[in-house]
Amino acid sequence: MDMMKDDPRFMLAVLFLCLFLKTHICHGADRISGNQTLTGDQTIVSAGEIFELGFFKPVNSSKYYIGMWYKRISERTIVWVANRETPVSDRFSSVLRISDGNLVLFNESQIQIWSTNVSSSGSSSVQAVLEDNGNLVLKEGSNNSRRILWESFDHPAHTWLPGSKLGYNNITKKNQRLISWRTSEDPAPGLFSLELDTSDNSYKILWNGSVQYWTSGPWNENTKIFDRVPEMRLNYIYDFHFVSNNTEKYFTYSVKDNSTTSRFLMDVSGQIKQQNWLGNGWNLFWSQPRQQCEVYAYCGAYGNCNEESLPFCNCVTGFEPKSQSNWDIEDYSVGCRRKTPLQSCGNNSTSGGGNGERDKFLQLTSMSLPNQSLSAGSAAQCESTCLNNCSCTAYSLDDNDCLIWIGDFLDLEQLSEDDGTGRTFYVRLAASELPNPKKKNGVIIGVAVGSAVGISVFLCLIVFVILRRRKKIVKPGKTVEGSLMAYDYRYLQNATKNFSEKLGGGGFGSVFKGTLPDQTVIAVKQLESFSQGEKQFRTEVSTIGTIQHVNLVRLRGFCSEGAKRLLVYDYMSNGSLDSHIFREKTSNLLDWKTRYQIALGTARGLYYLHEKCRDCIIHCDIKPENILLDSQFIPKVADFGLAKLVGRDFSRVLTTMRGTRGYLAPEWISGVAITAKADVFSFGMMLFEFVSGRRNSEQSEDGKVKFFPRWAASVIIDGGDVLSLLDPSLERNADVEEITRVCRVACWCIQDDENRRPTMGQIVQILEGVIDVNLPPVPRSLQVFVDDQENVIFYTESSSSQSSQTRSNTSTASSQAKSTTSSKNSLS
Ligand SMILES: *[C@@H]1O[C@H](CO)[C@@H](O)[C@H](O)[C@H]1NC(C)=O
Ligand SMILES: *[C@@H]1O[C@H](CO)[C@@H](O)[C@H](O)[C@H]1NC(C)=O
Ligand SMILES: *[C@@H]1O[C@H](CO)[C@@H](O)[C@H](O)[C@H]1NC(C)=O
Ligand SMILES: *[C@@H]1O[C@H](CO)[C@@H](O)[C@H](O)[C@H]1NC(C)=O
Ligand SMILES: *[C@@H]1O[C@H](CO)[C@@H](O)[C@H](O)[C@H]1NC(C)=O
Ligand SMILES: *[C@@H]1O[C@H](CO)[C@@H](O)[C@H](O)[C@H]1NC(C)=O
Ligand SMILES: *[C@@H]1O[C@H](CO)[C@@H](O)[C@H](O)[C@H]1NC(C)=O
Ligand SMILES: *[C@@H]1O[C@H](CO)[C@@H](O)[C@H](O)[C@H]1NC(C)=O
Ligand SMILES: *[C@@H]1O[C@H](CO)[C@@H](O)[C@H](O)[C@H]1NC(C)=O
Ligand SMILES: *[C@@H]1O[C@H](CO)[C@@H](O)[C@H](O)[C@H]1NC(C)=O
Ligand SMILES: *[C@@H]1O[C@H](CO)[C@@H](O)[C@H](O)[C@H]1NC(C)=O
Ligand SMILES: *[C@@H]1O[C@H](CO)[C@@H](O)[C@H](O)[C@H]1NC(C)=O
């Protein structure tokens, strides 16, 4: 093959083919060597066809760059760029080749615009090889004594690939950095970077190379994690290493299962992100800072960041985007500019927009203040202090102190009204930008009211009242798509007496009780975090609205106004299941028959969600809090479809699904697609709790039973006293066969390997007694994963005892389960 490559006839044939087919893989080779060149649509491909290198252009740009991307991933994902700041416009007359022992990019005028820039012997044996790990390596010498002159791993762009190092080299004194792209269309170095701080071995994210807004905390050699990244303990799919000695300090990682494509990048959003490819898209696995508004100066000068609005950035009143085209591509860093110049200071003309009036101040409440304030005397004179300083743009009061801001202010954030830390911020504006308080005019009108005016005012009032009435009747809103109502926010505010009676606070937001004018009782859920705009929200909600089943809570309607998103449900008079099975007092005791019926009803509801409705829906948050009971104790699954509304990111799952810990299936952290089997796992965990009457995550009162599922399995398998498993409050009043059945199916459900878990359909059949499960698999020794507050996140079988000891007859549930396993993924 190598001989053939050197054969000129072969080369000519290849060249001809290339011209003829215009194929992208022209060299078909993994290297550029000797006299070879790369130009136009030609690319080189790593030996295992993992990475590809050649010219590319960002979608809406007209400029070309030499870049590296994944060969097999359908979504073009650039992981490295050579000439970040020096693009070319004609890729056919530009060329990448070896020149004087370096890999050099020449532009249209054959002028060198990028080079590996190493001093070398200029030997002709230099080659640039693209390796399967995404490293482009410049080598010199014969096969046996290759010397590495330069490698792209030492010069990362914004992506950090598995196997490469990110750190400091004490010999070259070079500190590597990941630097974000300037915008999604421009790979030039942007404002956000990640680098190692060698003083305390922590990684820091910096804005414009100076202002730090996130740190990993120092590396802790004992716990092998960075102090402020406790989730590193969940090293389920990655192996991390930190090396620190006098020669070098670096952090590196690898993916345990190397069939997973994973990358780590400094994103244009100012967040570092870890993503895994799931076959149809990049799945966000982890990111920091979690909140967009924690990114320093994300919205630029005079921008206002609001975590609850979409987009996150807005200009402060009186300002407008400095560059609308940048804002359109979500690049807010350019910030905002004044619509009307300030009046005062050196401008003694009336050219400022204030018609000669002095500048005024706009009052913004519940703000997180920008960082760079100056202390300026007493609070009483604060406003005039600011007015008298030409460069003062804003002030705020801090007890008895006056804080002023000089020049552009960055990093202003709107907090929610009930956030206790919010402060009031006064922004200086030209007087004409502020709505004039019409006090004086009011007095004049008052004096001038004549009888004619009086009558017309009276008429207006009548019309107003009628309109209001009419509006009130119309208010519940028009019917949209099916039977859903679009409610008015004010209407729901009235119905819930201004959200005064809280029923509960779930993972997605708080729920309030309300009463409609016709005395129907409703439950109103205020969504706290959602990732979608209005249109998508309506689409999603109307899908949820079409799903109706006796074991699912019915969605009656919704409200979507501004940044507010509410869902209106039927009210369930017996509350949620947790209050009945984990109760303190023995009233409300659910007897065994009722528990069994609740288990069966819940299974039917989930079966319907997974397999019977038009689009398969994975609930993602099955736990007793989400099983509601109506007046007849019929179970109704709540909150289905919401996981989609809040987005599919794992980091969101962890932050938004509070109280979910203990029910999450291990694949949540494995970076693979979530299937309906994740719900099966959670359902299994919950079944054990039906039996024991306590949370699996708690030890028994006498401390003897640490993990109930394991104990239950051993009692069933050893033919022990099944009734001893039962919630003591039930005083052994239960059907032994039913308890056995529930424990068996629960054991099937909580297996690590999702393919072994039954489907919801099989579970329904088992609980109905139609099919039977013999001996369950024993939950093996389980690892407990905890988060930074030491709360249990989930359990998984420890990998040390991986060998299966299923003594059971797997022919029923397991084999069928395999055949029905599909990668339905409602989250994508
Ligand atoms: C490269 O070109 C030079 C002169 O043009 C020639 O001597 C040399 O053999 C060529 N090398 C290869 C690998 O083709
Ligand atoms: C490219 O521009 C078009 C039209 O302006 C826009 O719809 C599209 O979202 C842009 N694509 C990217 C990746 O910015
Ligand atoms: C090539 O690069 C040089 C140096 O940067 C520049 O002066 C020249 O205009 C470029 N040629 C073209 C065609 O862009
Ligand atoms: C190339 O390296 C030399 C020193 O080795 C340095 O002076 C020069 O600035 C470098 N050029 C570029 C473009 O990095
Ligand atoms: C380099 O290795 C290839 C096979 O990997 C071999 O065909 C070739 O002859 C070697 N060249 C030298 C100079 O050793
Ligand atoms: C970043 O810092 C440089 C000086 O280091 C400064 O000139 C530039 O204006 C800063 N960029 C922004 C957006 O503030
Ligand atoms: C606040 O601003 C100063 C510079 O004025 C900067 O050094 C510091 O890092 C900033 N802090 C944060 C948290 O942005
Ligand atoms: C530093 O650590 C690296 C990686 O473990 C090792 O290759 C190197 O020899 C070490 N250097 C010293 C001086 O210990
Ligand atoms: C670099 O090496 C020198 C001595 O070789 C040592 O004193 C210094 O602490 C090292 N610096 C770092 C950041 O490790
Ligand atoms: C994955 O790793 C194993 C063991 O390290 C190796 O044998 C295999 O070739 C690797 N597969 C890929 C696709 O890199
Ligand atoms: C003074 O007025 C000019 C022109 O109206 C304007 O460009 C400038 O920004 C103003 N100066 C100040 C300090 O507002
Ligand atoms: C203010 O206006 C007067 C007269 O129009 C002019 O002479 C003076 O230079 C102006 N002052 C400033 C600071 O622009």
β-pair partners for 150: 138
Residues 638 and 770 in one domain: yes
Per the model's pLDDT, the better-predicted residue between 624 and 475 turns out to be: 624
Would 443 be classed as within a structural domain?
Answer: no
Task: Decide: residue 45, CB within 10 A, 0-12 exposed, 13-18 middle, 19+ buried.
Answer: buried
Residue 589: per-residue pLDDT: 82
Q: Is 338 in a helix, a strand, or coil? A: strand
Higher pLDDT, 653 or 716: 716
Residue of 92, 93, 116 whose CA lies nearest to 104: 116
Q: Give pLDDT, residue 332.
A: 94
- CB atoms inside a 10 Å sphere around CB 745: 24
Question: What are the pLDDT digits (tens) for 258-279?
Answer: 778 999 999 999 999 988 887 7
Residue 343's pLDDT is 77
- Residue 478 or residue 488, greater confidence: 488
Among residues 571, 594, 615, which one ends one of the domains? 571
Q: Which residue has the tokens 């201004």?
A: 498
Residue range 454-463: average pLDDT?
Answer: 44
- The Å distance, Cα 787 to ligand 7 centre, comes to 29
> Is 618 within the bounds of a domain?
yes
Q: What is the C-alpha separation between 137 and 68, in angstroms, rounded?
A: 13
Domain identity same for 353 and 233: no
Structure tokens at 149: 């002159």
Return d(Cα 355, Cα 185) in angstroms, integer.
42
Report the alpha-carbon distance of residue 315 to residue 293 in Å, rounded. 14
Name, of 352-356, 525-529, 717-721, the range with top average pLDDT: 717-721
pLDDT at 105: 97
Assess contact for 811 and 773: CB atoms under 8 A: no
Q: Are 362 and 429 in contact (CB under 8 A)?
A: yes
Domain harbouring 634, CATH code: 1.10.510.10
Beta strands in 165-258 (DSSP E): 166-169, 174-175, 177-183, 186-197, 202-207, 211-215, 219-220, 225-226, 238-244, 248-255
**Pocket, ligand 3, Cβ cutoff 6 A:** 107-109, 111, 113
What is the predicted pLDDT for the residue at 657?
45
Q: Does the annotation list 204 as a binding residue? A: no
| Residue 480: pLDDT over 60 | no
In DSSP terms, 68 is beta-bridged to 53, 80
CA-nearest residue for atom 14, ligand 3, is 108
CB 390 less than 6 A from any atom of ligand 11: yes
Q: What is the pLDDT of residue 236?
A: 60
**pLDDT, greater one: 650 or 84:** 84
The reported pLDDT for the residue numbered 356 is 65
Query: Of 626, 639, 630, which is closest to residue 594 (Cα–Cα)?
Result: 630
Task: Give the per-residue pLDDT at 564.
Answer: 85
Least confident of 83-97, 530-544, 779-793: 779-793
Q: How far is CA 137 from CA 46, 103, 151, 155, 210, in A?
A: 11, 10, 4, 11, 31
Domain boundary among 571, 587, 620: 571
Q: How far apart are the first and last CA of the chain?
A: 43
- Give the DSSP letter string of 485-508: EE--HHHHHHHTTTTTSEEEE-SS
Shortest CA distance to 185 belongs to which of 327, 334, 59, 311?
Answer: 59
- The CB of 211 under 6 Å from ligand 7? The reply is yes
CB 102 within 8 A of CB 120: yes
Tens of pLDDT, residue by residue over 622-648, are: 889 889 999 999 999 998 877 665 544
**318, burial (CB in 10 Å: exposed 0-12, middle 13-18, buried 19+):** buried
pLDDT digits (tens, 9 = 90+) for 158-194: 999 999 999 999 999 999 999 999 999 999 999 999 9
The pLDDT assigned to 169 comes to 93
Question: In terms of domains, do 366 and 393 share one?
Answer: yes
Residues 556 and 607 in one domain: no
Is 296 a member of any domain? no
Does the pLDDT value for residue 466 go beyond 50?
no
Q: Worst-scoring range by mean pLDDT, 323-327, 385-389, 506-510?
A: 506-510
On the CB side of 347, CA atoms within 13 Å amount to: 18
Lateral strand order in the sheet of 360-368 = 313-315, 303-306, 412-414, 360-368, 423-429, 392-398, 401-406, 374-378
- Among 204-218, 355-369, 514-528, 653-667, the range scoring the smallest mean pLDDT is 653-667
pLDDT in tens, 433-458: 887 654 444 333 333 434 444 444 44
Q: Which comes out higher in pLDDT, residue 563 or 41?
A: 41
Q: Which of 355-364, 377-386, 720-729 has the lowest mean pLDDT?
A: 355-364
Work out the percent of the chain whose per-residue pLDDT is above 90.
45
532 and 602, same structural domain? no
Together in a domain, 543 and 587 = no
Tokens of 284: 């966000």
Per-residue pLDDT for 812 more than 60?
no
Higher pLDDT, 470 or 486: 486
Q: 370: pLDDT confidence band, cut at 50, 70 and 90?
A: very high
Under 8 Å between Cβ of 641 and 522: no
Q: 332 with 376, same domain?
A: yes
Write the CATH number for 41. Answer: 2.90.10.10
Query: Of residues 777 and 171, which shows the higher confidence score?
Result: 171
Question: CA-CA distance, 245 to 171, in Å (whole number)?
Answer: 12
- The model's confidence at residue 818, banded by pLDDT at 50, 70 and 90, is very low
The number of the ligand 3 atom at minimal distance from the alpha carbon of 90 is 13
**Cα separations (Å) of 784 from 793, 794, 798?**
8, 6, 9
Mark whether 491 and 626 lie in a shared domain.
no
**The domain boundary residue, chosen from 290, 321, 348:** 290
Q: Stretch 686-709: mean pLDDT, rounded?
A: 79
pLDDT at 436: 67
Pocket test for ligand 8, best of 245, 249, 251 (most atoms within 8 A of CB): 245
Distance 351 CA to ligand 11 centre (A): 8
Q: What's the mean pLDDT in 307-313?
A: 79
- For atom 9 of ligand 8, which residue has the closest CA? 247
pLDDT of residue 132 exceeding 50, the answer is yes
The Cα 798–Cα 722 span in angstroms is 27
- Residue 426: which residues within 8 A CB-CB, separation 6 or more? 361, 362, 363, 364, 383, 386, 394, 395, 396
Q: What mean pLDDT value characterizes the chain?
A: 79
CA pair distance 497, 755, nearest whole angstrom: 48
Query: Is 583 within 8 Å of 727 (Cβ atoms)?
Result: no
Q: Please state the domain count of the chain.
A: 5
Name all residues whose Cβ lies below 6 A of ligand 4: 117, 119
Stretch among 397-411, 533-547, 710-724 having the lowest mean pLDDT: 533-547
For residue 702 the two structure tokens come to 């006498």
Q: For residues 757 and 609, give the distance between their C-alpha atoms in angstroms, rounded to a whole number.
A: 17
- Nearest-ligand number for the alpha carbon of 99: 1
Over residues 727-753, mean pLDDT = 90
CATH at 559: 3.30.200.20
Domain of residue 362 covers 303-433
Q: At 387, list the tokens.
A: 């007015």
Residue 289 clears pLDDT 80, i.e. is over it: yes
- 808 band by pLDDT with thresholds 50, 70 and 90: very low
* Assigned domain for 215 exists: yes
Q: Please check whether residue 2 lies inside any domain of the structure.
A: no
Ligand 8 centroid from CA 359, angstroms: 63
- The alpha carbon of 246 is separated from its chain's Cα centroid by a whole number of angstroms, namely 38
Least confident of 37-41, 318-322, 467-471, 628-632: 467-471
- 651 and 517 in a single domain? The answer is no
Place of tokens 């790593």: 46
CATH of the domain at 167: 2.90.10
Query: Is 210 a member of any domain?
Result: yes
pLDDT at 33: 87
Which are the catalytic amino acids?
621
Confidence check: pLDDT of 778 > 70: no
Q: State CA 768 to chain mean position distance.
A: 39
Give the binding-site residues of ligand 2, using a 6 Å CB cut-off.
59-60, 329
Mean pLDDT of 293-310: 89
Candidate from 337, 340, 347 with most ligand 11 atoms within 8 A of CB, to mutate: 347
pLDDT in tens, 14-43: 444 444 433 333 457 999 987 899 999 999
Q: Please check whether residue 57 is in contact with residue 181, taking contact to mean a CB–CB distance below 8 angstroms.
A: no
Average pLDDT estimate for 735-749:
92
Query: In this structure, which amino acid lies at residue 755?
Result: N
Whether residue 674 is predicted with pLDDT greater than 90 in this model: the reply is no
Residue environment code for 762-798, b if the CB has 16+ CB neighbours within 10 A, otherwise e: bbbbbbeeeeebeebbbbbebeebeeeeeebbbbbbe
459 located within any domain: no
* 636 and 762, same domain (yes or no): yes
Q: Tokens 């009036």, residue?
A: 357
Which residues make beta-bridge pairs with 511? 504, 525
The C-alpha atoms of residue 618 and residue 601 are separated, in whole angstroms, by: 17
Phi-psi region of 224 (alpha: psi -120 to 50; beta: other; left: phi over 0): left
CA of 365 to the centre of ligand 7 (A): 22
Residue 598, helix vs strand vs coil:
helix
Residue corresponding to tokens 């009419």 = 470
* DSSP line for 401-428: EEEEEES----EEEPPTT-TT-EEEEEE
Taking the C-alpha atoms of residue 80 and residue 134, their distance in angstroms, rounded to an integer, is: 9
Residues 259 and 177 in one domain: yes
Q: Looking at per-residue confidence, does 770 or 76 come out higher?
A: 76
The rounded distance, in Å, linking the Cα atoms of 60 and 704 is 64
- State which ligand 3 atom lies nearest to the alpha carbon of 108: 13
Q: Does residue 4 lie in a domain region?
A: no
Q: Is 425 in the pocket of ligand 7 (CB under 6 A)?
A: no
- Residue 824 per-residue DSSP state: -
| Among 277, 280, 278, 279, CA closest to 263 | 277
Q: Which run of H or of E encompasses 444?
A: helix 439-448
Q: Nearest residue CA, atom 12 of ligand 12?
A: 346
Task: Select from 377, 419, 373 the least CA-distant residue to 394.
Answer: 373
Query: Could you tell me if 133 and 161 are in contact, meaning their C-beta atoms sit under 8 angstroms apart?
Result: yes
552 and 665 together in one domain: no
